[in-house]
Amino acid sequence: MLDLEVVPERSLGNEQWEFTLGMPFMQAVNILKRQCRIIKNVQVVYSESTPLSVDIVLNLSQDGIRLLFDPVVQRLKIIEVYNLKKVKLKYCGVHFNSPQVIPTIEQIDQSFGATHPGIYDSAHQLFILNFRGLSFSFPIDSKFEPHYTHGYLSSLQFPNGASPVVSRMCIYTGNSLADTKPPPMPLSCFHGNVYTDSVVVLFDNDIPAGLKFILTTEGSGPGKISEQRRRILERTVKFGDCAQSIVSALGSPSKFFYKSEDKMRIHSSSSKKLTPAKNSDYFFNYFTLGVDVLIDACTHTVKKFVLHTNYPGHFNFNMYYRCDFRIPMPVIRGSKAVGTEEPLVLTSFTKWDQVQDLLLTPAHKPVVLNRASSTNSTNPFGSTFCYGVNHMVVEVMPNNHIASVTLYNSKNKNSRDDL
């Protein structure tokens, strides 16, 4: 049985690990991986058809805990303990829930010092006691609905002196569980990494020229206030920049990956598809930025960019943090959008079926992309479709959300041949 410390409006954890409000989904998964011998039977719950409208949930069914992540920013929004019999809980080092300590209303009052009446939810027959960043739900029959006249305890009358027991506890930010939002990523979750706030694709005569990054990192100043130590940086990386310039602008990549084979070479129109490559191009993988940078093996300059949206249900889900990109797109001639004041901007949240008629002609046909892992010959999430438009390859999932965007520059003669 887990023995965890409750910190209202902040976290649930122990001395070895901690689930912190605002932490990214990937970091919570990494904690669960490291604690796999203790925390078992973890389920990932999400909406396959509408992934932006339903929270992403990590359900620790063995321990009665749910972690609810905002589907847009993919940071921890609510920590819910829905079965208090499966876990020990303490506050300020003192247990208020354990096999020996029953979490009754009196016990919660003693541990947290309630100073105002709670709220009765007649629809669900729950008495809810709220603190800032913390709430407790008690199942109470409607005939015992309290009347708030002399404080919340004296207003509750039960037969035989029985006292209701907590059925659910939630940790969140702010004063309202219904209106709570995930806080900014805590500095304790940065771990020396840099994260993207946004990425804008730069163009030169309607041809992608590079990326402008707005980055967030932990500053090195002496301030104790979190926002004083949070730094916002702006960096620009363009096609043709050397590998050293990339590292100088974005820092060391999370990983290097050398292309051992190119399965798309057969689709090349040049004779190079029949000639084996002497050198191997390599990727700079920036997992916390949601970006891959392909470096040419001969010139050691930028050849491509790959932007990842990290939607659940995609083969690469949870490998990258979401890249919140903005791509201004020219629409095709004759489109109903031509002449409108608002330019078409492709984002991480754009649905492809809403814009494809503005970007493609009926003659454009997608390429079906099948992925397979080294341990499993099939992709459990199914195939995706790749559309070529305006020096970009847009990978689209079956639910019409964009999985990734690959940018190349036509000035590089080899860029398109080996997509």
Block residue for tokens 């003693």: 110
Residue 191: inside a domain: no
Count how many domains the chain has.
2
Same domain, 148 and 279: no
Same domain, 130 and 272: no
Q: How does pLDDT run across 119-157, given as a tens digit for each residue? A: 877 788 888 888 889 999 988 876 665 554 344 544 555
Q: How many CB atoms lie within 10 A of CB 357?
A: 14
Same domain, 120 and 269: no
Residue 181: inside a domain: no
Q: What percent of the chain has a predicted confidence (pLDDT) above 90?
A: 61
Same domain, 264 and 157: no
Going 178 to 180 to 182 to 186, the CA torsion angle's sign is negative
- pLDDT value of position 269: 52
Q: How does pLDDT run across 278-316, given as a tens digit for each residue? A: 678 999 999 999 999 999 999 999 999 999 999 999 999
Same domain, 156 and 270: no
Q: How many residues does the chain have?
A: 419
Structure tokens at 98: 């354990």
Residue 418: inside a domain: no
Look up the domain containing 384 and give its range: 250-408
Q: How does pLDDT run across 238-284, given as a tens digit for each residue? A: 999 999 999 999 999 999 998 765 554 544 555 454 444 567 899 99
Choose the final residue of a domain: 171, 206, 233: 171
Same domain, 40 and 140: yes
Q: E strands of 298-377, at which residues?
A: 302-308, 325-329, 344-347, 367-369
Choose the final residue of a domain: 152, 171, 190: 171
Residue 213: inside a domain: no
Residue 182: inside a domain: no
417 pLDDT exceeds 50?
no
Confidence category of residue 331, pLDDT binned at 50, 70, 90: confident
Residue 109: inside a domain: yes
Determine the average pLDDT of the residues in 333-345: 60
Average pLDDT, the chain: 85
Residue 208 near residue 405 (C-beta atoms within 8 A): no
Q: How does pLDDT run across 169-224, given as a tens digit for each residue? A: 999 999 889 899 999 999 889 988 999 999 999 998 888 999 999 999 987 655 55
Alpha carbon distance 170, 335 (integer Å): 50
Same domain, 12 and 113: yes
Residue 229: inside a domain: no
Residue 128: inside a domain: yes
Q: How does pLDDT run across 64-98, given as a tens digit for each residue? A: 999 999 999 999 999 999 999 999 999 999 999 99
Choose the final residue of a domain: 171, 190, 221: 171
